[in-house]
Amino acid sequence: MGLYLIAEIGINHNGSLDITKKLIDAAADAGLDAVKFQKRTVEKVYTKEFLDSPRESPWGSRQRDQKMGLEFDFSQYQEIDRYCRALGIGWSASAWDMDAQRFLQQFNRPFNKVASAMLGHKPLLREIAAEGLKTFISVGMATLDELDEVVNLFRKTGCPFELMHCNSSYPMKETDANLRCIPMLKARYGCEVGYSGHESTLSRVCVAAVALGATSLERHITLDRAMYGSDQAASIQAHSLRGFVDAVRKVPEMLGSGRKEITPEEMIIRKKLRVDVADETNHDPDPVQG
């Protein structure tokens, strides 16, 4: 399989199916393979005290209003599923609790996704691995010892997985990308490794990631970085997605085979410009006449 590209809609839809469909349209039109959301059971993920605390948002004045405003229900995910199938693009979501993962199991998704924040949630990891569905695992905020445990869990279960190198700052400074972790993780775990990015720039980091061997990319997308939401600033705007996809998909072609060969185009130039001179270093330029 070639480079797998995931457009992370996450919660950038702001609870609107209209915004969601526009983002799906942009991802499908640009040639990405899938879009991804985030799913939470709000009352399970957050405490009542937190949910009752103040927070001004487009949905009300409490944290609960904001969190509930960003969640889609079953009928809305049915519409997302129908819409993606009509456009021929896959979709999935990263679950932040057990009930959310079981909710997602009602749909036929091409992959599961483990968010970096969930790497310590062992019951959730076991629930995901038990499905046996290809799983992308972001590795932000984790030590190698912690990753050893996660990888061992998925290997023991026999669930196929791919790690995704990640720095979990939002937005991430390019100098914090530490992309050499991609070949390091490949060597340590003997698996494919992708890159999940939160930088505000368009494609430089992702191009470098692919050049270093990344087999998948995940980037947040948005209609407008100025929209309400904590992830908007670390997202690619929809109108830039075609340029992003074009840039990263060309990298494997540019890397080539690594074999030193004369291309047909070079041979044409060689015939015009190549100068071949016999090696005369062993000949005396001024022999003594005898």
Predicted confidence (pLDDT) per residue in 163-206, tens digit: 999 999 989 999 999 999 999 999 999 999 999 999 999 999 99
**Average pLDDT for residues 132-158, to the nearest whole number?**
98
pLDDT on residue 279: 77
Nearest alpha carbon to residue 217 among 242, 191, 249: 249
pLDDT exceeds 60 at position 160: yes
Instruction: Report whether 216 contacts 5 (CB < 8 A).
Output: yes
What domains lie within the chain, and their CATH numbers? Answer: 4-273 (3.20.20.70)
pLDDT on residue 286: 58
Task: Please give the angle made by the CA atoms of 138, 141 and 147, to the nearest 5 degrees.
Answer: 60
pLDDT exceeds 60 at position 129: yes
Task: Please give the angle made by the CA atoms of 108, 110 and 111, to the nearest 5 degrees.
Answer: 110
Q: pLDDT (tens digit, 9 = 90+) per residue, 53-101?
A: 999 999 999 999 999 999 999 999 999 999 999 999 999 999 999 999 9
Percent of the chain whose predicted confidence (pLDDT) is above 90 = 94
**What residue type is assigned to position 18 of the chain?**
D
What is the C-alpha to C-alpha distance for residues 58 and 70, in angstroms, rounded to an integer? 10
Instruction: Report whether 203 contacts 247 (CB < 8 A).
Output: yes
Instruction: Give how far the C-alpha of residue 112 lies from the chain's centroid of Cα atoms, to the nearest Å.
Output: 13
What is the C-alpha to C-alpha distance for residues 55 and 64, in angstroms, rounded to an integer? 9
